[in-house]
Structure 1
């Protein structure tokens, strides 16, 4: 029996859809494969595409190759796209790029996705797959003085090399012209196109051949290197806690900045002297300008006081001269410092600039550094398309603790994890400080899954040991530039009356709940004092998560209550001492958090402990204990994380509250 015409049509179109998904799946696979490796792509750069006779799928702006899916590709009509090659446009650079952008939009079948500015170059190459990357090794050659001399021996006679041309329509027309000449001479299109100070296009009808070509070229470059890249890890010196918080405040002329420090053998090499820094003092590629701008600071000193004073003067002069603040600072003996709007941006700045260091090092094997010219830099720095890419790199997040760096002790689980989560959602960088490595890392990973430009970091910390608190603060400074809020949340409880409580348990509870609060404040206040010294309108916060038991005695729980009462005494005393340094010190006194492990753990939770200790007269079950406490609260529920965080944010917001013990108890405790 013959199929009806409509059935044949349906099968035909279904086959087209299946074929499209298969080919796009190959494009997605190879895009992710190269995109997740920094030696090929950094900061979401690079472009990939697949084409048929009628349509082109190309990476859309704002999507990273490492995680791209089908939704990350713009689909264009190739007939309409071909008009870009045939039309005449304005002689004015920026008007011409606007006109081209409009024509790209007219050819775009997915209006919600902005096609790459390099779309027309992908279209003119006569192969199904085009994989354009910025491999560090390739750019080590493309950004070298002797690039044209070494091309044949490294890339082979069939590679097409194009000297530097400003990105956009002019570059496309030159690439189109050179491809036509190549096609006329060889009878086919080049599979390798090399762009000076930019990157490489590898094209084929097979993704496997693309892989083979990249493998072959990278092996060839490696065989020509005179000296391999240094890869040794180098510790960031502990002295950064005496430098970076001050630099952060000096750079935070308006909103708070985030700073991050990185050090390794390569960074050491280029920050060792002014002569070494000179070899990375200008950008090699447009991407460097997009993410790091075109000028950078170098400080040939490592003494903390001298570094701070030199930065203070250099920063002001830099802004006055260039019209924008520096994003990269190299400090001799310290490392490479990124200055960003948020943590995500500092990571990108460090990755891109470290790649620039690698390019400079590799270029020494091929005649030395070939920087972009001032005219080329100026074009990129003001080009609308590149400004769009830069704006995409700044992840917007608006919260009540925006860009503040907050350490939360005991944040691996329970109340601390909840506080950390709420503050991360409000725009803070979070440091999870906890002894539990497995849960601490998991908590930080979950916090980093929350959208926003700021990050979470786990640091294993025993708050009963001063040296571990010092390590915690140093790691925080290295990753975020300072500490704005320290939340002393970690605590333990051992219930029991005078007959049951052992001296060992009493000492343990006191050491963690009382002594450690002192240890933490002693260490973190040093960094906070440095910060307030260099920003007049700035205040820092130390907040102890206390308890209602710090406001009212607790039967058969004197070890815990005594430590908490003492904690409020410390809060008031610290507040008096640190007020001249604009460091506020307050306590939040939550009511009972029944849903957390402190109360609900089936083996050691307070419900179990209080039942066993006979703290609640007549209680026979855990439910009896729970109901007993609910009956004492006028609002008839337990305290929640959100309740406490509202109190924490209130204290941070206030410029006129210090030495307070803020009850968040649902009315169970009322101040007199």
Structure 2
């Protein structure tokens, strides 16, 4: 089969392997549908199948409905993400349904219908599938279908386009009553192949997994073909361009410059992580004549506005405005953010019910900068990225609806009743509590190995996103692959960084701004060591040590502070120094004096930056041998010579000279860094934390 607007991914050989296992075929079909974002969004949509299975108590065959459980994602769905319910028990709930005003009480009763006790909690869509008699059902949120569903003439267009073979149910919040209305639509229109839900999405079905899959693709393809035929037919898309975009380099430069400022405004209640996109579909919309009319209307599909808020904030800036004066930029943007927060508060106050949950963060999630792109801000990178994807879906819907009719959004009260639904609030309350570094952005120099990688891993484990960097591209690539495998693609990004090169430092912080919105924690860890007698020490050795350790720390801190001041939400700088900053020893003039300079620079920076709530602290390790570059280049040989021992004897020598008789590992340094930024020491700055096993000669006092 050939499709232009959707992806046909069905593999007959793969399906044949699953033949006879309808639940496995349901999962297979769901994964295929979820792999195409034109069909449904991340976490959106629902699929089901009904099979005959033995009752574990009676042994008699009963009909069981397997359906995607609450909070799952079709693209990554596994059996553990399904809910399984007795179909007859689910249908019997009709007998005790007390009407739409008592709708929410039905959700708790779904648990009395559970067949598989290990299954996922049933979602609110359960009755929508359960009341339809088909063996396989797909409920998706395809842009092409929602464009018709959100059009002013959507019902008429659906009737004409499909010749009566697709039913129509007007907008209603998902739940038990909507399930009854779907069944009524089917009863009133026997033989239809699907149902369009006004402003919401699409239901399609089939007797087998394959029939349902193909039916779904065919209906969406037909919708997409219809939209394509009408783009620009009566008027230019979105009324035509009002402005032109900057070129790609210009867009990236402006985005990197403004992102930390926007993040600061959006983080007035909690630290947010950002995402930026200048996707062509976004630019077409934000550069158009219709932007000012359509953007305030908000989105139509509940899945869209639950993640993007009721409407975006549109910046009143020119694409090529000079953004270098941070103070002037903040003064210009502050009224827009205050107006947005006021608008959102008024929306809440006007629409709230006596039992509504408390108002949530009033800051925007989606920010549009005409000529530049779209910014999204949320609790973590994945949520911010998905919000941007959902708003892009909303743009597609507006584009299609405007091409064939006129776009309509949900009334504010309907939108509020979804956003502040008690069942939605309960779902939010069940989510895991934020980790200590959730919402934080960390850049650890030299983080592709040794101490730097250990620190970055610790921060990622505690919820931070990290900018991995190294001057060795191969080493950096390996670290990136390791982090992707361990933490996922949204937990990190990479940047090639030699701390002696100002341009690479600038680019690394621009990467941080574009990928995450800015930076909160900077750890100056990159280093090297040279152990030579004063007679053997060269000028080149001296310059290299001071360039990397002292000048590098200074330039990275300088760049970090510039970003942190844009955000105006404080920050942390940690400098990985050494016990050698305090202890005198032979063959160590260059390295030891550079470390002393690093330590005092930490104190100087702490004294200067306290007023900006930027804390500067130092960690003094000693003899961290594992996976460390410090032992390359003859350092180990030099230290062994200084102590009159062999290289092999160094680890034991270092351990025995400590008060605790301990070997110091990269994880020990990582734990010390986390202790400084994890929330318990927020009123500490200018401190030195020794992690050396206990060396009396290195005591600060």
Matches within 5 A, 1:45-194: 45-53=44-52, 54-84=63-93, 86-93=94-101, 95-98=102-105, 100-111=106-117, 113-151=120-158, 154-155=161-162, 157-183=164-190, 186=191, 190-194=192-196
The reply to whether residue 348 of structure 1 matches residue 386 of structure 2 is: yes
CA contact (8 A) 1:246 1:530 kept: yes
Corresponding position of 2:403? 365
Question: What is the CA distance between 1:367 and its match in structure 2?
Answer: 1.3
The reply to whether residue 322 of structure 1 matches residue 337 of structure 2 is: no
CA contact (8 A) 1:598 1:605 kept: no
Structure 1 stretch displaced more, 483-492 or 589-598: 589-598
Question: What is the CA distance between 1:453 and its match in structure 2?
Answer: 12
Structure 1 stretch displaced more, 573-582 or 509-518: 573-582
The reply to whether residue 267 of structure 1 matches residue 282 of structure 2 is: yes
Question: What is the CA distance between 1:286 and its match in structure 2?
Answer: 1.2
1:470 maps to which of 501, 506, 521: 506
Q: d(CA) in 1 for partners of 2:36 and 2:586? A: 59
1:461 maps to which of 489, 497, 501: 497
Deviations 1:527-567 (A, max 9, x none): 222333xxxxx532211111222222453343332322221
Corresponding position of 1:396? 433
Deviations 1:381-404 (A, max 9, x none): 333334445557x653332x3422
CA contact (8 A) 2:147 2:396 kept: yes
Q: 1:124 to 1:436 in 2, by over 3 A?
A: farther
The reply to whether residue 594 of structure 1 matches residue 625 of structure 2 is: yes
Q: d(CA) in 2 for partners of 1:380 and 1:118? A: 14
CA contact (8 A) 1:593 1:640 kept: yes
SS at match of 2:642: coil
Corresponding position of 2:314? 298
Corresponding position of 1:5? none
Structure 1 stretch displaced more, 425-434 or 315-324: 315-324
Q: 1:591 to 1:610 in 2, by over 3 A?
A: closer
Question: What is the CA distance between 1:51 and its match in structure 2?
Answer: 0.6
Corresponding position of 1:10? none
CA contact (8 A) 2:304 2:391 kept: yes
CA contact (8 A) 1:575 1:585 kept: yes
Q: d(CA) in 2 for partners of 1:204 and 1:337? A: 40
Structure 1 stretch displaced more, 232-241 or 407-416: 232-241
Q: d(CA) in 2 for partners of 1:343 and 1:565? A: 38
Deviations 1:308-345 (A, max 9, x none): 22334324423432344132222334432223233332
Q: 1:548 to 1:36 in 2, by over 3 A?
A: farther
Matches within 5 A, 1:215-614: 215-224=217-226, 225=228, 226-227=230-231, 234=248, 236-272=251-287, 275-281=290-296, 282-302=298-318, 303=321, 304=323, 305=329, 307-323=332-348, 324=360, 325=362, 326-389=364-427, 396-399=433-436, 401-444=437-480, 446-447=482-483, 455-498=491-534, 500-532=536-568, 538-598=569-629, 606-607=635-636, 610=639, 614=641
SS at match of 2:104: helix
Q: d(CA) in 2 for partners of 1:129 and 1:69? A: 17
SS at match of 2:499: coil
Q: 1:593 to 1:569 in 2, by over 3 A?
A: same
Corresponding position of 1:37? 36
CA contact (8 A) 2:260 2:518 kept: yes
CA contact (8 A) 1:630 1:638 kept: yes
Structure 1 stretch displaced more, 374-383 or 134-143: 374-383
SS at match of 1:75: strand
Question: What is the CA distance between 1:72 and its match in structure 2?
Answer: 0.9
Q: d(CA) in 1 for partners of 2:435 and 2:97? A: 41
Q: d(CA) in 1 for partners of 2:598 and 2:147? A: 58
Q: 1:446 to 1:569 in 2, by over 3 A?
A: same
Q: d(CA) in 2 for partners of 1:369 and 1:155? A: 20
Q: d(CA) in 2 for partners of 1:460 and 1:34? A: 37
Q: d(CA) in 1 for partners of 2:134 and 2:88? A: 16
Question: What is the CA distance between 1:59 and its match in structure 2?
Answer: 0.7
Structure 1 stretch displaced more, 562-571 or 65-74: 562-571
Q: d(CA) in 2 for partners of 1:657 and 1:97? A: 49
Question: What is the CA distance between 1:413 and its match in structure 2?
Answer: 1.6
Corresponding position of 1:663? 690
The reply to whether residue 624 of structure 1 matches residue 649 of structure 2 is: yes
Q: d(CA) in 2 for partners of 1:489 and 1:21? A: 57
SS at match of 1:658: coil
Question: What is the CA distance between 1:122 and its match in structure 2?
Answer: 1.6
CA contact (8 A) 1:131 1:202 kept: yes
Structure 1 stretch displaced more, 364-373 or 254-263: 254-263
SS at match of 2:643: coil
Q: d(CA) in 2 for partners of 1:395 and 1:368? A: 41
Q: d(CA) in 2 for partners of 1:540 and 1:382? A: 33
Question: What is the CA distance between 1:377 and its match in structure 2?
Answer: 2.0
Question: What is the CA distance between 1:446 and its match in structure 2?
Answer: 4.4
Corresponding position of 1:197? 199
Give 5+ residue unaligned stretches, structure 2. Answer: 1-16, 53-62, 239-244, 324-328, 349-359
TM-score between both structures, scaled by the size of structure 2: 0.82
Q: d(CA) in 2 for partners of 1:181 and 1:445? A: 55
CA contact (8 A) 1:143 1:363 kept: yes
Q: 1:531 to 1:123 in 2, by over 3 A?
A: closer
Deviations 1:228-283 (A, max 9, x none): 999x9956443445533333333333332333333233323333368414323322
Q: 1:279 to 1:261 in 2, by over 3 A?
A: same
Question: What is the CA distance between 1:417 and its match in structure 2?
Answer: 0.8
Q: d(CA) in 2 for partners of 1:43 and 1:307? A: 35
Q: 1:319 to 1:641 in 2, by over 3 A?
A: farther
Corresponding position of 1:11? none
SS at match of 1:243: helix
- CA-atom RMSD in angstroms: 3.1
CA contact (8 A) 1:598 1:606 kept: no
Question: What is the CA distance between 1:118 and its match in structure 2?
Answer: 1.9
Q: 1:398 to 1:618 in 2, by over 3 A?
A: closer
Structure 1 stretch displaced more, 351-360 or 155-164: 155-164
Question: What is the CA distance between 1:175 and its match in structure 2?
Answer: 0.8
